[in-house]
Structure 1
Amino acid sequence: MQNLNTVESYALDEAKRHVLFHHHKASGWITFAKKESDGSWKQYHYQPAELASELPNWLGDNIFFSQNTFFKPQRRIENIKQLRALYVDIDCHNLNYDPHWVAEKLNLEVFQEDIPSPNFIIFSGRGLVCIWLIEPVPYQALPLWKAVQNYFYERLEYVGADKKSIDSTRVFRIAGSVNSKNGEEVFVDYRHDYRYGLRELQAEYLPELTLARQNTSKKPGRKSKVVHLHNVRSLHYARLLDLVKIAELRDYDLRGHREQICFLYRYWSCCLTDNLKESLNQMLEFNSEFKEPLPKHEVERATRSAEKAWKAKSDVKANEEAIAKGYPGAGYNLKNATIIRWLDITPEEQQHLKTIIDGNEKRRRKRERDKFAYREKHNAVTREVYLDQQKENTEDKLWQLKQAIKRHPDLSNRKLAAQLAISEAYVRKLKKYLST
């Protein structure tokens, strides 16, 4: 490591404390990013064990790191490995509020009342970021994570919370770095190290989701807005993961379907992140992995209507007009049959997908579930397992017969059968195996 002056040494200590406190015992790739003076981003990914040695390379202006971790060195929503924190970025400078005044206001009015106390607050130069550390949960929990994230955002909206900042791939400024917009140093106010359980938070602040899960009644009922949004997010995330799986199954050779698959990716990403810019960037990176990517300007233009549809979902008038026409609401409410037709998804491919499946695949899965339930109930085994067991039994009896003949070469088949506790006919059958 190069020699550091006093200021750099202090900044490094602050950065280490911040990152290691946040990502203690993390698993997966962590993203570090730097915003250059020309507005471009430099981005690298590290494993947790590399953080201490790499941090000296990330000092200075406009340094950020990811709040969650990723399966692979790509900061995209489908690559989430561990969801490790909830967070809300408060752009209080837009309301001419002082960040320290806002922090005290929240202490008095919100924390421990409407929402729990954050583990720490990042004073990012012109605003602040509240961070709640959670026990790590896998990517499957993203819809629930998003529901709690939205709840926290809504409670802080009155002091300037930024809805675009609550997506799962978010990066925030690191302690010890400098915000070049006003030259202020970023620092962290640490409050406690308790990691919240995501289910614990949901049960306390969004109990209607628990009731919805427990309600097994088939009777239709009016769902609350929270439950409805949670169900929609779950569907959108599962469908986005299915898109990525289709690309993998086809080895990213998507000629003939590139525009449609990018359009769907951009639309569902908008629905999940509520961030148009981030959704566009992630879609462009996804497109770049194709064997023959579409040109940037072409794919942006071809998928622009995805943004328009997402905006309509939040428009009261647009929703009223859509409902009046018989639709569930504004935006795209695509049927599985439509997506399957658009992307020419084969029955074989559907076996690897979660939600984009037709009636035949649904029935096939039901038959498999029914078979499994029957086997569980009756302690039955599959034909493959049965044949393996029979083969093992036959080999065992062959070995026993060999040993018996070796010890008593003159015994008749009847006596051998009695000794091995099998039928005389079975002895003759086994002897045929021995003679071949």
Structure 2
Amino acid sequence: MSAPAAHDPRQLSLITEPSFYHDVSESSYLALLARQLDGGLRQKTFRTSQLDKVIQAAPRDRDCYLSQAQFMRPNRRAVNLYSLPLLFCDLDPTTKRHLPPEEWRRAVLMACNDQGLPAPSLIVYSGRGVHLKWILDKPLPRAALPRWNLAQRLLGEHFADLGADPQARDASRVLRLEHTVNTKTGERCEVVWVTDGGDGLPIRYPFDVLFDEVAPLARGQLEELRESRAAEKATKPPRWGDGPSLTLIKGGRYGLKRINYQELAWHRLEDLRSLAVMRAEGSASGEALAGERMRFLFWSLNFMALSHAVTPSSFWREAQSLAATLAPGWRYDSGELSTLYHKTMAYFRGEVVEFEGRKVPPLYTPRNATLVERFAITDEEQRRLKTIVSKDEARRRHAERERQRRRQAGAMDREAYQATAQHRRDVARALRAEGATNAEIAQRLGVHVKTVPRLIREG
């Protein structure tokens, strides 16, 4: 990646903005994209621990972009997501006139005040529009991607009048790097606002607090609404797409926690990834997932689309990345995914289909039993998965949760209870042999007087 000459004064400006939300780590990767002298873009992935060195060496006299999320592999795709350290919103001018940074800052802060939203931790002028960034007090893990996606969409809706770009809110997004030049306008990307957190650094927000601020209903209100609507519709079949997009559905029977359908799809993807790892590690032939690759790729992409981790525009790139994680060097037949791709496009257009009198998404929404059968998942494998489990495994987990609940409440396990009962019977017989009355034995053991004859008889 070429850089400007060392004597270029623009190269002397230290880039500090990414260090506010990207923690140093050897476990994760970032991506840097830079415009080359021939006009093309070149991407470089690097460990987060190298962030300071990489961004200080980045060219300042042309377009340069940095990923906002971190990834578990050197590949900037949602399937490799590691963590999400912030929420962001990309605003572009709604007219041909370019607003100066001061007007952007004033418009954004006024919109936040009018809508009761927390001010962004940072407002970054991109040379044309602005990037709004709300830094989180701790990065979200990959499992939280569906909720993060929903928060991103809601933020975009709040700032739609200011030109929020609906195509620039995904987890694999890159945004312009501070102190670099926007070659379309010739202006530099600069931080133009910092909301002080009281320690001289940009403020950090708990994700749940931000979510409740941007959502039309806070989580507690949402749960009350869900319960009231469930009571009203108890006699009606569930209809996908009814009510607000935040409506929660049951994750299953036997006390499984309630999650929305996007979270359920993401957890199923995680289960398929875990299952693929288990089978690859246990492969006697040494060939990873022989005969199962396309099945894993197809269903994983389906669940990524349902969870909004894959969009029609990123479908084929994510398919390539996912195929590489399943079996490096594997060449799959893209024709086998064409139907799924068209279903994904229909899903993102908001289309639904009728199925047994219900409206359901055009993508595949199988039952757990179907997935267990399709993948021939054994009982041992199910015990290591989170959501793709049979009813028998769900019952076993429910029974185990109940046992733990009783133990935490002070209840004894079966063996301890039997030992205590036998001890009472032995003491009752010994006291009776000494001539004690039923009342005296009952008082000694702390039981009802009518229980004593049974203890002696059973002993």
The 3 A distance-change label for structure 1 pair 382 and 293 is farther
Give yes or no for the alignment of 1:210 onto 2:181. Answer: no
The DSSP-based 3-state class of the residue aligned with 2:159 is: helix
Contact 1:27 1:82 in 2 (8 A): no
Cα distance in 1 for partners of 2:92, 2:80 equals 28
Identity of paired residues, percent? 21
Q: Conserved in 1, the CA contact under 8 Å of 2:105 and 2:192?
A: no
Letter aligned with residue 376 of structure 2? D
Q: Which residue does the alignment assign to 1:195? A: 204
Query: Compared with structure 1, are the counterparts of its residues 157 and 267 closer, same or farther at alpha carbon in structure 2 (3 Å cutoff)?
Result: farther
What does residue 278 of structure 2 align with?
249
Render the CA deviation track for 1:159-210: whole Å, top value 9, x for unaligned: 3322232222322111122334444432222321111111112233323433
Corresponding residue for residue 298 of structure 2? 263
Equivalent-residue separation in structure 2 for 1:143 and 1:161 (angstroms): 20
Task: Describe the superposition over 1:58-91 as per-residue Cα deviations: whole angstroms up to 9, x where unpaired.
Answer: 2243322222333454434354443211011223
Letter aligned with residue 314 of structure 2: E
Q: 1:7 to 1:160 in 2, by over 3 A?
A: same
1:90-239 to structure 2, matched below 5 A, reads 90-92=91-93, 95-100=95-100, 101-111=103-113, 113-139=115-141, 140-192=143-195, 193-206=202-215, 207-213=217-223, 219-221=230-232, 224-228=243-247, 231-239=260-268
Q: Does 1:370 align with 2:374?
A: no
Measure the CA separation in 2 of the matches of 1:181 and 1:243: 43
Separation in structure 2 between the aligned mates of residue 105 and residue 259 of structure 1, nearest angstrom? 49
| TM superposition shift of 1:234 | 1.0
- 2:313 is paired with a residue whose SS is helix
The 2-side partners of 1:285 and 1:244 are apart by 13
Look up the equivalent residue of 1:150 and give its one-letter code.
R
SS in 2 for 1:92: coil
Partner-residue secondary structure (3-state), 2:385: coil
**Aligned counterparts of 1:380 and 1:3: Cα–Cα separation in 2:** 74
Does the 8 A contact of 1:30 with 1:46 survive in 2?
yes
8 A contact 2:311–2:348 mirrored in 1: no
Find the partner of 1:345 among 359, 374, 377: 377
* 1:243 Cα deviation from its structure 2 partner: 1.8
Q: In structure 2, what residue type is equivalent to 1:203?
A: D
Residue 344 of structure 1 deviates from its aligned partner by 2.7
CA distance in 2, matches of 1:289, 1:3: 39
Q: Hey, what's the Cα distance between the residues in 2 that align with 1:5 and 1:362?
A: 66
TM-score after normalising by structure 2: 0.71
What letter matches 2:321 in structure 1?
Answer: E
Q: Which residue of 2 aligns with 1:20?
A: 19
Counterpart amino acid of residue 273 in structure 1: A
Q: Paired residue for 2:354?
A: 322
Counterpart among 305, 310, 313 of residue 339 in structure 2: 305
Larger proportion of helix: 1
SS in 1 for 2:358: coil
User: Partners of 1:127 and 1:276 in 2: how far apart?
Assistant: 26
TM-score by length of 1: 0.74
Deviation of 1:211 (Å):
2.9
Seen in structure 2, the aligned counterparts of structure 1 residues 243 and 249 have a Cα distance that, compared at 3 Å, is same
For 1:125-165, what per-residue CA distance to the aligned partner results, in whole angstroms no more than 9, with x for missing partners? 34322111111143233333222221111112233322232
1:9 to 4, 8, 11: 11
Letter in 2 for 1:225: P
Q: Name the structure 2 match of 1:53.
A: 53
* Number of aligned positions between the proteins: 374
Q: Is the 8 A contact 2:24 2:51 kept in 1?
A: no
CA offsets, 1:87-141, max 9 Å, x none? 1122336x53524355543333345525322122222234322111111143233
1:405 is matched with: none
Deviations 1:24-60 (A, max 9, x none): 6778524132255575642312234x32233333224
Gaps of 5+ in 1: 384-436
* Compared CA separation, residues 382 and 204, structure 1 to 2 (3 A): farther
- The corresponding residue for 1:63 is 64
Instruction: Report SS of the residue matched to 1:244.
Output: helix
User: Could you say if the C-alpha distance between residues 359 and 87 of structure 1 is closer, same or farther in structure 2, counting changes exceeding 3 Å?
Assistant: same
One-letter amino acid of the structure 2 residue matched with residue 236 of structure 1: A
SS in 1 for 2:119: coil
